[in-house]
Structure 1
């Protein structure tokens, strides 16, 4: 191999290592961003939470879509902050809301400015009996929640931001009785859009579901070994039981 060929090979290797290093740094930055999101909503810092989003970002949550900077603030500040913390931007006595961010799988896209991620949250929440109010969401209670994120991120001026927060709550359970006794639609889905509902979503999502209904939240990536789309069979209830009996 000539000197010029060796130099060209080394330059190509350095370029590839630089690309791979950039991808790993992007993954770490996105992980930090998502984990920070969890810490901020833990402590009801809703203004700071809204600032994590792109200007054209959106939140897909509980069967609704809140669009753009105005929609994101309507959800976190106008809806959550006013309901949960009486308008206070920060934690209040007697209200617990913990959101661990777990099992994140991050895929930076070839353009280097878009990324997709799947992650999980396991929320512990409740309101102490000495701090309850007169609205349903202010009553004394303690509950669990588990959900899946399938999020999109964008790098804006060199900084990663949340572009689409697609959070699918999967199950809830009262602490006292557990998930075997969870009532359907434990948290009511939005029924009206903004402005009919002043803090409602801009659009409703069809086919939203909660435990005890149980479906697969679609993966944004194929199976890493087979390359095939990851698809689950849909349970057919009594019909499936009869087929199994033969």
Structure 2
């Protein structure tokens, strides 16, 4: 009887741990999806509030790293909020910025307080013709495909955004498609804060835009072999050339 009771207790402990893991994965997924819905409608104050207060929190975006809550505010409430919606918190008529979040792979550590996520984003963006003369972006419409390799922290019982790395891999104008996308479609930052009031705290080697097709390293090992993909296999050399002729991976 005592042996059976001990076995039941062990089974309950295993099931409880598994339930916590599955629940945490679901909460991390919901956290990221909620972030996407706020971002769609330029609710940048809400986005900033989703970030952890941890001093090592940051966002990496287009070759720049925005550190801590102040740097994160500078990106969302400075660069994006001022440039897209004239400083208001929320949408403006005629400006489209829809983020579809897809194909998520989420892993939570054994403590249940730290998680990683790899996820795709497919964006439809642009301006309606009625605001082409009043919006700073003018008459524009584009597709964008990107990839997140993120980290999350549980603070005070809530999952929060921690280290957000977004790689907007490709852009395509509606008229010409991705075949004709110009190089350096979005210019990389060359100045940091405070020289650039909305600039990053530091410049990072994260310059990956179409037609560059390097792979962002996976946060997880192969599910069957347990091995990590070779760095050479993640490069993107010219067709028919050796891997070493391709650019090195982003750190």
- The normalised TM-score by structure 1 is 0.93
Q: Which runs of 5+ in 2 are unaligned?
A: 243-251
Could you say which residue in structure 1 is the equivalent of 2:14?
16
Preserved contact between residue 183 and residue 210 of structure 2 (Cα < 8 Å):
yes
In the TM superposition, what are the counterparts of 1:208-227 in structure 2 within 5 Å? 208-227=207-226
The correspondence for 2:3, drawn from 2, 5, 10, is: 5
Q: Kindly state the Cα deviation for residue 30 of structure 1 after the two structures are TM-superposed.
A: 0.5
Q: Kindly state the Cα deviation for residue 132 of structure 1 after the two structures are TM-superposed.
A: 2.7
The separation in 1 between residues aligned to 2:91 and 2:239, in whole angstroms, is 47
1:80 matched to 2:68? The reply is no
SS of 2:70's equivalent? helix
Could you say which residue in structure 1 is the equivalent of 2:248?
none
Could you say which residue in structure 2 is the equivalent of 1:96?
96
Could you say which residue in structure 2 is the equivalent of 1:185?
184
Could you say which residue in structure 1 is the equivalent of 2:245?
none
Count residues with an aligned counterpart.
238
Q: Deviations over 1:28-79 (max 9, x none)?
A: 1111100001100000000000100001321111111001111111100011
SS of 2:170's equivalent? strand
1:197 matched to 2:160? The reply is no
The separation in 2 between residues aligned to 1:124 and 1:30, in whole angstroms, is 24
1:42 matched to 2:40? The reply is yes
Q: Deviations over 1:77-105 (max 9, x none)?
A: 01100100011111111100000111111
Preserved contact between residue 62 and residue 206 of structure 2 (Cα < 8 Å):
no
Could you say which residue in structure 2 is the equivalent of 1:115?
115
The separation in 2 between residues aligned to 1:67 and 1:40, in whole angstroms, is 21
Q: Deviations over 1:131-185 (max 9, x none)?
A: 13578x5211100000110000000011000001111111000011000000111
The separation in 2 between residues aligned to 1:197 and 1:129, in whole angstroms, is 31
SS of 2:53's equivalent? strand
Could you say which residue in structure 2 is the equivalent of 1:70?
70
Q: Deviations over 1:200-232 (max 9, x none)?
A: 000111251200111001100010011111232
In the TM superposition, what are the counterparts of 1:125-140 in structure 2 within 5 Å? 125-133=125-133, 138-140=137-139
The separation in 1 between residues aligned to 2:201 and 2:118, in whole angstroms, is 24
Q: Kindly state the Cα deviation for residue 237 of structure 1 after the two structures are TM-superposed.
A: 1.9
RMSD across aligned positions (CA): 1.5
Q: Kindly state the Cα deviation for residue 125 of structure 1 after the two structures are TM-superposed.
A: 0.2
